[in-house]
Structure 1
Amino acid sequence: MTRAERPLTPAAPHTAGTLLVVDDEPTVRELLPVTLRYAGFAVVTAATGEEALASALHEPPDLVLLDVMLPDMDGFEVIRRLREQPRAAAGPRGGHIPVLFLTARDTTQDKINGLLLGGDDYVTKPFDLQELIARIRAVLRRTSGDPNATLLVGDLELDPEGHRVLRAGKPVRLSPTEFRLLHYLMANAGRTLSKAQILERVWHYDFGGDPSIVDTYISYLRRKLDAGGPRLIHTVHGIGYVIRGIES
């Protein structure tokens, strides 16, 4: 299940949220919840898409860990139906229930499908337990956090209210558009964002803008940010861009 076993942090005294693990592999449903509970999460499991939808409708979780390959329907159909259920569509933290795909399907097209259907992250098997937990927490933060809270990615800090950016403690001067782009990337740290998503959220284009403008402004950001340390904004070929603290 993992690429490497590492010592885990002590179990949290209070639950960090409820996770719904959807996977038809018994070993995943048995072993993964042990680790997640140790990290402070409450865990519910489902072996099929129908079980997952019924569980989410009965008691919406804070986040769904969803396999793509299920016996009755694929995970893409599950997330489509999940978004259509009024009660399940709004999670207990407000907004939609975040979905993190956790699957052996690792083609670029699968990742694109998962993200375009509303997935919040996409992790392929085998996976590292500590990385998975970090991604879960990152998704929960960005889908339920204070929009004015300071964002941190590695040694990069962005203060939305003060309109200030620091890299390794040193100020970075950005244009308003560069700031909006960096804010969107950092608010979705660890999540690969397509150029269409970036155009719509940063430039407010509905697939009508020139995608090359995204590449241009990513280049501007890299030039300013990389002067203060290792590269943080990474290209995911065929999909878009992701910002993260370390290269993985």
Structure 2
Amino acid sequence: MRLLVIEDDKDLNRQIAQALEQSGYAVDRAFDGEEGQFLGETETYDAVVLDIGLPKKDGITVLEEWRANARVMPVLILTARDRWSEKVQGFDAGADDYVAKPFHMEEVLARIRALLRRAAGHATNEIVCGSVRLDTKAGRVVVDGAPVKLTSHEYRLLAYLMHHSGRVVSRSEIIEHIYDQDFDRDSNTIEVFVGRLRKKLGVDLIHTVRGLGYMAAPAPEESGGRR
């Protein structure tokens, strides 16, 4: 899952980005409204953390212009604790949730998980597909009760496929959602990661749909299982 953090305080921006990266997300960063708006309009993100008080262009304006241009990614706004009016403006502009400064980083992580969960139609932090369980809070994968150790990119790929289980996902979509802006994107590496995941999981979960991409779904004999 790929996220964008727009915050002009460089230390806070770095802290948020690091916390998100440690939780298994690919993260891009911007430090003013103009740069943030450009990235939000030209890149593909699963969610955005957006500060309201930005230089060059304020966060409310950025958000309003995104929504006017049909950019529908979930947005978590950062507001000043005592500025209730900012929260109202944010929601009216199209925000999905907010966190008031100063905040605990765990709250930001929890709210991001909730936004991603709702966007993909899941009710809890645990996503189940056949015998594979993905705990998005703990960043843990379990198959038939046994933990599976994955690299960061393997985890991102599996998480994206399982968030969208039952739907065919193209290679280009995967690339847009699991790599940050600065990563050298090569579609051939997706096939490598899929091969590694299949070997590590040891179950028939990731299916190749020839000419279209990949789909996470339990094997036919498991199709009645919980997702």
Q: TM-score, normalised by structure 2?
A: 0.52
Say whether residues 1:79 and 2:63 are aligned partners: yes
Distance 2:96 2:114 in 1: 10
Aligned partners of 1:33 and 1:43 also within 8 Å: yes
Question: Unpaired runs of 5+ in structure 2?
Answer: 126-227
Aligned partners of 1:64 and 1:100 also within 8 Å: yes
Number of residues of Structure 1 aligned to a counterpart in Structure 2: 125
Aligned partners of 1:102 and 1:123 also within 8 Å: yes
Deviation of the 1:152 alpha carbon: 5.9
- The structure with higher relative contact order (CA 8 Å, sep 6+) is 2
Tell me the equivalent position of 1:25.
9
Distance 1:48 1:104 in 2: 17
Tell me the equivalent position of 1:34.
18
Instruction: Provide the secondary structure at the position in 2 that maps to 1:70.
Output: coil
1:117 aligned residue (93, 117, 121) = 93
How has the CA–CA distance of structure 1 residues 124 and 29 changed in structure 2, closer, same or farther, with 3 Å as cutoff? same
Tell me the equivalent position of 1:46.
30
Aligned partners of 2:77 and 2:98 also within 8 Å: yes
Amino acid of the residue matched to residue 23 of structure 1? E
Aligned partners of 1:63 and 1:140 also within 8 Å: yes
Deviation of the 1:109 alpha carbon: 1.4
Q: After superposition, where does 1:157-172 map in structure 2 within 5 Å?
A: none
How has the CA–CA distance of structure 1 residues 27 and 152 changed in structure 2, closer, same or farther, with 3 Å as cutoff? closer
How has the CA–CA distance of structure 1 residues 70 and 105 changed in structure 2, closer, same or farther, with 3 Å as cutoff? farther
Deviation of the 1:38 alpha carbon: 0.3
Q: TM-score, normalised by structure 1?
A: 0.47
Distance 2:41 2:89 in 1: 23
Tell me the equivalent position of 1:178.
none
Amino acid of the residue matched to residue 66 of structure 1? L
Deviation of the 1:104 alpha carbon: 2.4
Say whether residues 1:102 and 2:86 are aligned partners: no
- The CA RMSD over aligned residues, in Å, is 1.8
Aligned partners of 2:78 and 2:101 also within 8 Å: yes
Aligned partners of 2:77 and 2:97 also within 8 Å: yes
Say whether residues 1:142 and 2:126 are aligned partners: no
Distance 1:81 1:139 in 2: 20
Say whether residues 1:58 and 2:42 are aligned partners: yes
Aligned partners of 1:65 and 1:102 also within 8 Å: yes
Aligned partners of 2:79 and 2:87 also within 8 Å: no
Amino acid of the residue matched to residue 120 of structure 1? D
Instruction: Provide the secondary structure at the position in 1 that maps to 2:57.
Output: coil
Instruction: Provide the secondary structure at the position in 2 that maps to 1:27.
Output: helix
Q: Kindly provide the CA deviation profile for residues 169-228 of structure 1, in whole angstroms up to 9, marking residues without a partner as x.
A: xxxxxxxxxxxxxxxxxxxxxxxxxxxxxxxxxxxxxxxxxxxxxxxxxxxxxxxxxxxx
Q: Which runs of 4+ in 1 moved over 4 A?
A: none
Sequence identity of aligned pairs in percent? 41
